Structure 1
Amino acid sequence: MEIVISDAALKWFQDEVELKKGNKVRFYTQIYGSSPIQENFALGFTVDNEPVDMSIKTEKEGITFFIEGTDLWFFNGHDLHVDYNEKKDELEFSYTKSKE
């Protein structure tokens, strides 16, 4: 499994969340949402500089994006792609089957 952050999404995190080199962003599952891979669950994020079990991570311009081991079930063998939709002015999450 991998996390892919687009350049547009990275810029959004830097501009809107004011992230800088050294910050960490955790993607986590939340109940009462919708996703194409898990019914009744959605994905959220938080700035979390104290990971407990950083199982999957990627770094872009010194910012670490990660998923804790307790949330891996949500992805069900899929990679996470994070992009920014300029028209909707929001992040978009998409999922592709992992090659692993």
Structure 2
Amino acid sequence: MDITITRPAVKWMKEELNIESGDSVRFYVRYGGSPQLYPGFSMGIALDSPEKPAVSTEEEGLTFFVEDADSWYLRAHNLHVSFSRKHDTIIFEYNESSDAE
């Protein structure tokens, strides 16, 4: 399980979430929203500090992470976050992980 984020997605988050170097962004599982991997659940984002991260990455001085409690959602996938110019928002993509158990 890995997280990758494109530069345009990082730029969008900096502007939309008003975040700066040193801040942390949590990707978490929420009930509802547009189903992505599992019916009834979707990925959300929040400003938060890591407590028990299952996976994290740093881009442009920001930490992006998924807590261990939410790792079930990605279990055999990598999370790729990109930016859609057409929709002016970030897009979550889930690619099968080569190191899945």
TM-score interval, normalised by the smaller of the two chains: over 0.9
In structure 2, stretches of 5+ residues that fail to align are none
- The residue type equivalent to 1:78 in the other structure is H
Residues 16-53 of structure 1: CA distance to partner in whole angstroms, max 9, x if unpaired? 2121111000000011133332111000010003x221
Q: Give the aligned CA root-mean-square deviation in angstroms.
A: 1.1
Partner letter of residue 40 of structure 2? Answer: N
Q: Identity rate of aligned residues, in percent? A: 37
Divergent runs of 4+, >6 A: none
| 1:6 aligned partner, one-letter code | T
Please tell me the residue identity of whatever aligns with 1:43: M
Question: TM-score, normalised on structure 2?
Answer: 0.92
Q: Separation in 2 of the partners of 1:33 and 1:17?
A: 19
Indicate if the aligned counterparts of 1:37 and 1:74 stay in contact, CA closer than 8 A.
yes
SS at 2:87's partner residue?
Answer: coil
Instruction: Indicate the larger mover: 80-89 or 34-43.
Output: 34-43
Are the aligned partners of 1:27 and 1:66 in contact in 2 as well (CA < 8 Å)? yes
How far apart, in 2, do the equivalents of 1:96 and 1:72 lie? 14
What residue in structure 1 maps to residue 59 of structure 2?
60
Match of 1:80 in 2: 79
Unaligned runs of 5+ in 1: none
Question: TM-score, normalised on structure 1?
Answer: 0.93
